[in-house]
A and B are shown apart, each in its own frame.
Chain A
């Protein structure tokens, strides 16, 4: 199981029956493949739909039904469609129970940077900034370090922020970390990963509880 799948499987355990959820692209979207049996969530696509399903069969795509990545999807029974003002009203207005997003950096204060590396990579924030301030629960799903092995969980974010003090939970291939008023609380570590390894690959201070759980995915 690669890092992405470990993260996606663990993310899916955060989903509860009936939750309205918005998933960012990449690992977050992957997590929809691992939703536990018996748990039905209502997925929102910010371009304007609720309750969408997997991609259609060839020959059955609808040119007017796609997700926020421009990919063909299907609408499930009970689904609804709406314009962007309603869609972002749902998002900003606190009607989304949880959002799962990737990040470039997260810090001890729950700050998140995921839209811009000045001078290098400026794709834009899309709907991310709205989701971060509006969703009731913000889950960050990302690899623990960047491609060079540098920590992404920092004392203070260095990149331009996407939102300030909004992150609730960080899920990586190494650990699950909760953002609390006291700081970052290490909740779980993955099997075959040592506590030392997690501490070494995290720049931020971690609060280590006496009883540390092993992540089961």
Chain B
């Protein structure tokens, strides 16, 4: 059963050098309050695993971690939206392991669901083949990738009940339900925490057994304003 903690208390569970999966896609469905808190802490040398890097419009989301030089290694499919991360990569300060997005997410899913690896046709005939075993199945070639697990996963959901069941909203599921299965410690940042029973079982996106810590982040009206302002400033609205 999950426990409810404050953002500050949650930081006590994160150590230098940890590998952390962070949910979200360019900041949408991302645990921005916990990210902000890590960025302002002394925690460093992190391996961050995320489908993509930060939101492109301002220093926001994972961009706060790169700005404060918190990242030692990034595992993901794309870094081009974060100028700081691109610079640190080009200067050799941050190691980047590029995985095609569909490959990355399946590797995480494999780790969370007890599979020994994945076979994908993505990357055949490219440099993704380097150092990888090619396996023929029914006469077709596939690349073998190992599962990918992390010390910690930080997910963002719309609501949690006190058991830890998570409900997602909109297109903000993205990597969240997958990473919630593949880490030793799973922390969920949510808009609101409700009583057990208030989330219909059919609306549960992540069963509570996966969640260790629930953290109350910004409420929905505050998040609406944060993103509306972000998009207006970026001339996207």
Contact = CB atoms under 8 A, between A and B. Distances in A.
Interface of A: 45-49, 55-59, 61-66, 68-72, 75, 81-85, 88, 91-92, 111, 122-130, 133-134, 160-165
Interface string B40-79: 0000000000011001110000000000000000001111
A119 to B, nearest CB: 8
Contacts, number: 171
Contact of B171 (A56, A64, A111, A164): A64
Contacts of A91: 102
B173 A82 contact: yes
A63 B78 contact: no
Nearest to B158: A64
A127 B80 CA distance: 13
A48 B171 contact: yes
Given A69-B26, A125-B78, A133-B124, A61 B176 contact: no
B164 to A, nearest CB: 18
A62 to B, nearest CB: 6
A25 to B, nearest CB: 10
B228 A61 contact: yes
Interface of B: 25-29, 51-52, 55-57, 76-81, 86, 89-90, 96, 98, 100-103, 105-106, 109, 120-128, 158, 169-178, 205, 220, 223-224, 226-228, 231-232, 236-237
B77 A55 contact: no
A130 B100 contact: yes
A70 B56 contact: yes
A85 B171 contact: no
A88 B109 CA distance: 12
A61 B98 contact: no
Interface majority SS (helix, strand, loop, mixed), chain A? loop
27 contacts: A46-B101, A47-B28, A48-B171, A58-B228, A62-B170, A65-B172, A66-B25, A66-B171, A69-B56, A70-B57, A75-B170, A83-B173, A83-B174, A84-B101, A84-B173, A85-B105, A91-B102, A124-B98, A125-B98, A126-B52, A130-B102, A130-B103, A133-B122, A161-B127, A163-B123, A163-B125, A163-B126
A63 B77 contact: no
